[in-house]
Amino acid sequence: MILFLAGTSDARALAIKIKEAGYRLLTTVVTENAGMEMRKAGLDVYVGRLTSEDFVRVIREQGFNAVVDASHPFAEEASKNALLGAKEADIPYIRYERESQSYENNGITLVDSYEEAAEIAAEKKGVIMLTTGSKTLQTFTQKLLNQPDTRVIARMLPRKDNMEKCEQLGLPQKDIVAIQGPFTKEFNLALYKQYGVTTMITKESGKAGSVDEKLEAAIELGIETIMIKRPKINYGNAYSDFSDILAHINKILNNPKINGDIGGNEDGFSYGI
């Protein structure tokens, strides 16, 4: 049995591949919306955040044989908890990470943190579009909202908790773009033009995160881009290709089709983790 950290479209595709290979797995996601997508794909799912202690407990209680972490490249806390949990429970940990790209020569300002991105944006002023999600929104609003000659446009998922967070942080309703991607280059062009964006802040989420479409539109319009580099985590066994993940799983776990170890809900997963 495999405990699988998901939450993105490519993670869902990988989970389906693993299931089709005959392995039992329980996917974990943070939001109910992501959970619905997993269920639609025929995958068993648990919705909620897990601490490292939670990982150890559920691994031991449910008898998981491996952890496959396909969480978002910036889900740093989740990955660290999964790593620690797998190590403590003494089972293999395998990391799937979207392939990284090089942006060194594209006139993009690369930074190591959200705080650094906010500092640079504050110096630039103008119309700043955030495409970094709601989790770190406060880092930007604290630094930018009261700056003269500065307007902050926040693009994020259209969730109730996100809208409540914007209200609590004092972000005006007219400066919220609540919408879910992925977006085309043409869509980004239209959005940048609509708001008169002069600086765009994004994360190095990989091609699957539609970063290219954001950048191409920004470059075409002469918009400055600040990109936050991925967290540096020593994952150990890390791959960017589905076939490599499956090969590693086959190596450490005998194919369940051979052993007759196939199943779904009847295998007794306890979803109240």
Summarize pLDDT for 58-85 with one digit per residue, the tens.
999 889 999 999 998 888 899 999 999 9
228 forms beta bridges with 111, 203
Residues 52-58, mean pLDDT to the nearest whole number: 91
For tokens 């942006």, name the residue: 103
Domain layout of the chain by residue ranges: 2-99+232-267, 109-228
Q: What are phi and psi of 158, to 5 degrees?
A: -80, 65
**Average pLDDT value for residue range 120-135:** 95
Do the domains at 2-99+232-267 and 109-228 have one common CATH topology?
Answer: yes
What residues are paired with 15 via a beta bridge? none
The rounded mean pLDDT for the chain is 87
Binned at pLDDT 50, 70 and 90, residue 248 comes out as: very high
Alpha carbons within 13 angstroms on the beta-carbon side of residue 66 total 22
- Stretch 90-117: mean pLDDT: 84
Q: How confident is the model at residue 7 (pLDDT cuts 50, 70, 90)?
A: confident
Residue 187: the pLDDT is: 96
pLDDT of residue 2: 95
Examine the pLDDT at 169 and tell me if it is beyond 90.
Answer: yes
Nearest to 128 by CA among 218, 247, 51, 237: 218
Q: What is the pLDDT of residue 124?
A: 94
Query: What distance in Å separates the CA atoms of residue 28 and residue 6, rounded to the nearest whole number?
Result: 6
Is the domain 109-228 a CATH 3.40.50.720 member?
Answer: yes
Instruction: Say if CB 13 and CB 36 are below 8 A apart.
Output: no
- Say what the pLDDT of residue 271 is: 46
Please say whether the structural domain 2-99+232-267 has been given the CATH code 3.40.50.720.
yes
Residue 206 has pLDDT above 50, yes or no: yes
Mean pLDDT score, 207-223: 84
- Three-state DSSP state, 184: coil
Phi, psi of 227 (to 5 degrees): -115, 130
| Residue 269 reports pLDDT greater than 60 | no
* Number of Cα atoms under 13 Å in the Cβ half of residue 75: 24
In the chain, what is the greatest distance between 2 CA atoms, to the nearest angstrom? Answer: 67
Residues 177-201 pLDDT 10s? 999 888 999 999 999 999 999 999 9
Residue with the two structure tokens 């033009």: 193
